[in-house]
Amino acid sequence: MTPIIFDLDGTLIDVSARHYSLYRSVISEQGVEALTPDEYWRHRRAGESTIDLLAATPGVDVERFTEAWMEGIERPDWLALDEPYDGAIEIIKALQPEYELVLITLRRDRAALMGQLDALRMRSYFRDVICHGPELVSGKHLLQGVAELTPGGYAVGDTEADIELASETGRRAICLSYGVRSGCYLASRGAETVIGTLRELPEVINAAERSGGPADVDQGVALRNVHTRARF
């Protein structure tokens, strides 16, 4: 079966409340005024990490912030703020009988990850769930287990890490413009296919399959480059 590799955060689930709320909580504890949600996500969608934002924020103890951020970002009480995007479960449920679905994320706490997937009723749709764990890696393609996956297929995500994963493992990248990064930013990082809603994914994949599949991507498979829209 053709594999489809899914990212989780910003792709299948909306992490905007968790990321911003934790950022505001940690920075406020230092007596520093937080950016507004619009300002925060304008920077994030333009390619900056939360840690990057601190360089332009006077009075922040970056080391202390980073420690608190890393301690909190995968904690179950903060994860409880996440919600599946509209249609996410419906889409993976529809794709699962015909495709080999794999979830790859840079999350480090596997137990918390699995607990969240169970709570969101997503876990059963994936043949494999690969996460970061304790090892130090510089990209998703280097995570343990990725090299053993069925070759080909698609990598679906919302950041440059997913574009790199597709490139390094010979898959077609399909990027979503509503997550952590904007469609314009993803295009600037080489994303060839950007869609504005997850509900478009089956149609885009079907178009690729009818046109010969991912192997034909460099010969101009007719996938749509849908207009992008800001989610946050």
Question: 147 in a domain, yes or no?
Answer: yes
Q: What is the DSSP letter of 142?
A: G
What residue numbers bound the domain in which 67 lies? 16-79
Residue 148 DSSP label: G
CA distance 27 to 54: 9
Helices (H), 97-225: 110-119, 160-169, 183-188, 201-210
- 232 found inside a domain: no
Q: Is the pLDDT of residue 215 over 70?
A: no
Spatial CB neighbours of 5, under 8 Å, sequence gap ≥ 6: 102, 103, 104, 149, 153, 154, 155, 156, 165, 171
- Domain of 211, CATH number, reads 3.40.50.1000
pLDDT one-digit tens code per residue, 101-137: 999 999 999 999 999 999 999 999 999 999 997 777 8
Asked whether residue 134 falls in the same domain as residue 65, the answer is no
C-alpha 37 chain-centroid distance? 19
User: 4-24: per-residue pLDDT in tens?
Assistant: 999 999 999 999 999 999 999
Residues 49 and 101 in one domain: no
- Residue whose C-alpha is closest to residue 131's, from 184, 80, 74: 74
Residue 72 lies in a domain: yes
Which phi and psi angles does 90 have, rounded to 5°?
A: -60, -40
Residue % of the chain over a pLDDT of 70: 91
Q: Would you place residue 192 in the very low, low, confident or very high pLDDT band (cuts 50, 70, 90)?
A: confident
Whether the pLDDT of residue 220 is over 60: the answer is no
Structural domain includes residue 229: no
In a domain, residue 226? The reply is: no
Query: Do 66 and 148 share a structural domain?
Result: no
User: Is there a domain that residue 26 lies in?
Assistant: yes
Q: How many residues would you count in the chain?
A: 232
Report the Cα–Cα distance between both ends of the chain, in Å, rounded: 35
Helix (H, G, I), strand (E, B), or coil: what is residue 126?
A: coil
Quote the pLDDT of residue 212.
67
